[in-house]
Structure 1
Amino acid sequence: MPESLRIVHCFRSPVGGIFRHVRDLAGAQVAAGHQVGIVCDSTTGGEYEARMLRELETKLPLGVHRTPMQRHIGLGDLSSAWKTYDIIKELRPDVLHGHGAKGGVYSRMFGTLLRVSRYRVARLYSPHGGSLHYDEKSVTGRFFFALERIMERLSEHILFVSRQERDTFVRKVGPPRAPNTVVYNGVTGREFEPVAASADAADFLYIGMMRDLKGPDLFIEALQLAERATGRRLSAFMVGAGEDRDKYVAQVAERGLADRVHFRDPMPAREAFALARIVVVPSRAEAMPYIVLEALAAGKLMVATSVGGIPEIFENAPAALVEPSAQAIAAGMARAIDDEAAYAAVMPSGEEVRARFGADAMASRIEGIYREARRN
């Protein structure tokens, strides 16, 4: 029987796609007999995320450990970093897997300190977009890409969630010198049960973080443009939380849409899918967004921007993709709402999504990479 591993996942923000990825991966790893724990920030996320972490903690042998982690590097980062290191050292991981920019730095820096202390630990990193979203011409971007180059030397393996993410790394940071693999995100079997729209469902749904990178402002503008194009009043739900949410509430009010655009706090994706007939993913940048996979698995119609790894999901059904502009998104929304039956024909099939993006396959491949990294 293969050796059981002590696996610690380190990331900053327990929200969005990274959190979903870690939850699925950790659950599959526990089911495979491994000792798994999580270390993440204690200052982000609301009651919904806190409840999910409490539920997760009951299933993880190494527990859930929350400590303050700043989003940006600063003087306060020194004390929070030291607290994180103490937690990780106490957990004695065989594998330290960092997710996102902050988790990637912490996992490789602290893993290296443990290795200097003659403690054998494999250091792995999954960018999940993270610092790769920065403009390579900006001062901030140059700083983070130089840091990525340094940290790469401290990595046993880099895991990319899409070919596009790896290509972006090559373009902005340079060809990876550490071993690296593309492993797609995966959804679980139970998520392939169709979710029907409720009797009073809205026309469109935005679900995700409330920040400009994810395009809520584009969604609002596109909804108004789609109304003009179709000559009808359109309704929508916007589900999520984030530091810019108040700005989008104000944008909806300014455009006279407050009576038909309704905001909801974060909720399970499948609950949100019942709120509307068509899901819109208006992101300006992505890695391999879970919400796209979840919505397709649930049989939802979708308009999505052609950014990040999304085109890899729609390789055999590119007609549902649009450019990340309000005008292009509005055109896609108008086309979808005008003839939903015809639009359904351009969606990827559930069978194709299941074959290419299954959670079990994702976890199995990553376990093999962990074991190989442990031998280095």
Structure 2
Amino acid sequence: MIKVAHILHSVGGVDVSLRLITENINSEEFENIIIHGIKDTDVDFRDQNNTILKSYKTSIYREINIINDLIAIIQTYKILKKERPDIIHAHSAKGGIIGRLMGLLFKTKVFYTPQAFSFLSTENNLKRKIYLFIERLFTNKYSYLLASSNSEKERGVNNKIFKKEKALLYNNSIVDIKKIEDLSIEKTWPEEYICTVGRPSYQKNIELMIDVLHEVNKIKEVHLVIMGVGFHSDKLEEVQEKIKNYNLTEKVTLLNWTKRTDVFNIIKESKIYISTARYEGLPYSIIESLALSTPCVVTDSDGNRDLIIDGYNGYVIKNQNSTEFKDKILHLLDNKEVRNTFSDNSRNEFLQKYNVEKNIKNLENIYIASLNR
């Protein structure tokens, strides 16, 4: 049996990604152990037989803190010395740093899945250069990029973090959503609406979304449901102020973190899913929109452009052009036939490319092949 140690700060899409891997990978061939943060999740990790996996909590936090990070490195070293995994799979920026360092120390193959590189997370040029330098610094002969999208793979190669021959691809994938459960929360928004999942942050660029909604509502009354307004929402006050200034309080519903089944319900019933993100890995909310046959209007960012084919299953807006964004939303809302075509095409894209029950074999093969190199 091949033992895989996963290292990560387990929140958001990173947490979803790992759970989809452990719950679907062949548990007769792969043993998974989890090394994650003290305060990220209290939910057990399970395998495909619903058996609870061995997990360790360490001082892995999202923020950079020299003391906590050194403690996390020492703790992880002790765990790996005891467990002696065949492969290390490092998820997220922090997990990637610790994982690649451990790979060097133990001379063990490491797969690094950033779920969006850290240097994309800031508009400060100096910080961006520092983060990029750190990404390059921790890449070594034992580490491979296992990108969550083709855009992420190209980003890793083009920014000279990984050589082309050490950049691999395993698309984020989900289990097909065959049943939609009733909402577990009170519905406080109208029957017709558009929606998104994204915390108010630099990455998700919800400010642009509110600008677009303002322009849309000058022509047609449209309600927006924003899900995932919870952790790390550093732009929340700015977004709330913009909503107030545009007199959109009655046109926007802000929902904190809620059950994934509620998210599925809201996406399924939405006319359109929208994303104004500046960057992504390969966003689960859009994969879910494909599975749920919901057409999308998205920015031309890493991750988004991998999932949405302009004019086929949605629209891709270049240069964050708010006028074009508004026009495409209105066009879809006013053209049921186009929406239906995009819906069918979205579902087909999901079935062909992003179904984890089909794609998990690709990851198994990548793990196995690495031991034969």
User: Which TM-score tier does this pair reach, normalised by the shorter chain?
Assistant: 0.7 to 0.9
In structure 2, give the amino acid aligned to 1:345: T
Secondary structure of the residue aligned to 1:212 is coil
Q: Flag the 1:304–1:167 CA change in 2: closer, same or farther, 3 A.
A: same
Residues 1:256 and 2:253 aligned together: no
**Cα displacement (A) at 1:260:** 2.7
Match of 1:265 among 248, 256, 262: 256
After TM superposition, the runs of 4+ consecutive aligned structure 1 residues lying more than 6 A away are 194-199
Match of 1:17 among 4, 13, 27: 13
C-alpha distance after superposition, 1:214-273 (max 9, x if no partner) = 12212222111111133xx32121111233234323332232222231111112344224
C-alpha distance after superposition, 1:4-60 (max 9, x if no partner) = 221121112x2222221111111122545422122222334xxxx54xx23649734
Which residue of structure 2 lines up, in the alignment, with residue 176 of structure 1? 163
Q: Flag the 1:74–1:345 CA change in 2: closer, same or farther, 3 A.
A: same
Residues 1:234 and 2:231 aligned together: no
Which residue of structure 2 lines up, in the alignment, with residue 283 of structure 1? 277
**Cα displacement (A) at 1:304:** 1.6
Q: Flag the 1:214–1:29 CA change in 2: closer, same or farther, 3 A.
A: same
Secondary structure of the residue aligned to 1:37 is strand
- Gap runs ≥5 in structure 1: 116-120
Given that 1:296 and 1:350 are in contact with CA atoms closer than 8 Å, whether structure 2 keeps it comes out as yes
Given that 1:158 and 1:178 are in contact with CA atoms closer than 8 Å, whether structure 2 keeps it comes out as no
Given that 1:282 and 1:329 are in contact with CA atoms closer than 8 Å, whether structure 2 keeps it comes out as no
Given that 1:162 and 1:312 are in contact with CA atoms closer than 8 Å, whether structure 2 keeps it comes out as yes
In structure 1, give the amino acid aligned to 2:96: G
Given that 2:2 and 2:31 are in contact with CA atoms closer than 8 Å, whether structure 1 keeps it comes out as yes
Which residue of structure 2 lines up, in the alignment, with residue 350 of structure 1? 347
Which residue of structure 2 lines up, in the alignment, with residue 223 of structure 1? 213
Q: Flag the 1:218–1:318 CA change in 2: closer, same or farther, 3 A.
A: same
Residues 1:201 and 2:196 aligned together: no
Residues 1:336 and 2:332 aligned together: yes
Given that 1:194 and 1:299 are in contact with CA atoms closer than 8 Å, whether structure 2 keeps it comes out as no
**Cα displacement (A) at 1:298:** 1.0
Which residue of structure 1 lines up, in the alignment, with residue 112 of structure 2? 125
Residues 1:161 and 2:148 aligned together: yes
**Cα displacement (A) at 1:84:** 3.2
Structure with bigger RCO (C-alpha 8 Å, 6+ apart): 1
**Cα displacement (A) at 1:274:** 2.9
Residues 1:85 and 2:77 aligned together: yes
* Separation (CA, whole Å) in 1 of partners of 2:38 and 2:165: 31
Secondary structure of the residue aligned to 1:226 is helix
Given that 1:252 and 1:258 are in contact with CA atoms closer than 8 Å, whether structure 2 keeps it comes out as yes
Secondary structure of the residue aligned to 2:66 is coil
Q: Flag the 1:92–1:279 CA change in 2: closer, same or farther, 3 A.
A: same
Which residue of structure 1 lines up, in the alignment, with residue 138 of structure 2? 151
Q: Flag the 1:235–1:140 CA change in 2: closer, same or farther, 3 A.
A: same
Given that 2:282 and 2:302 are in contact with CA atoms closer than 8 Å, whether structure 1 keeps it comes out as yes
Match of 1:372 among 359, 369, 373: 369
Which residue of structure 2 lines up, in the alignment, with residue 118 of structure 1? none
Identity of aligned residues (%): 17
Q: Flag the 1:322–1:63 CA change in 2: closer, same or farther, 3 A.
A: same
Given that 1:280 and 1:304 are in contact with CA atoms closer than 8 Å, whether structure 2 keeps it comes out as yes
Q: Flag the 1:287–1:42 CA change in 2: closer, same or farther, 3 A.
A: same
- Gap runs ≥5 in structure 2: none
Q: What count of residue pairs does the alignment treat as equivalent?
A: 358
Which residue of structure 2 lines up, in the alignment, with residue 301 of structure 1? 295
**Cα displacement (A) at 1:152:** 2.4
Match of 1:210 among 200, 203, 209: 200
Q: Flag the 1:70–1:345 CA change in 2: closer, same or farther, 3 A.
A: closer
Secondary structure of the residue aligned to 1:274 is helix
**Cα displacement (A) at 1:295:** 1.0
The normalised TM-score by structure 1 is: 0.84
The normalised TM-score by structure 2 is: 0.84
Match of 2:44 among 47, 54, 64: 54
Given that 1:11 and 1:102 are in contact with CA atoms closer than 8 Å, whether structure 2 keeps it comes out as yes
* Separation (CA, whole Å) in 2 of partners of 1:39 and 1:351: 36
Given that 2:152 and 2:281 are in contact with CA atoms closer than 8 Å, whether structure 1 keeps it comes out as yes
* Separation (CA, whole Å) in 2 of partners of 1:309 and 1:292: 9
C-alpha distance after superposition, 1:103-148 (max 9, x if no partner) = 1111111232223xxxxx3211112212252679933233333333
* Separation (CA, whole Å) in 2 of partners of 1:335 and 1:238: 21
In structure 1, give the amino acid aligned to 2:292: A
Given that 2:309 and 2:316 are in contact with CA atoms closer than 8 Å, whether structure 1 keeps it comes out as no
* Separation (CA, whole Å) in 2 of partners of 1:331 and 1:42: 46
Given that 1:193 and 1:297 are in contact with CA atoms closer than 8 Å, whether structure 2 keeps it comes out as no
Given that 2:45 and 2:53 are in contact with CA atoms closer than 8 Å, whether structure 1 keeps it comes out as no
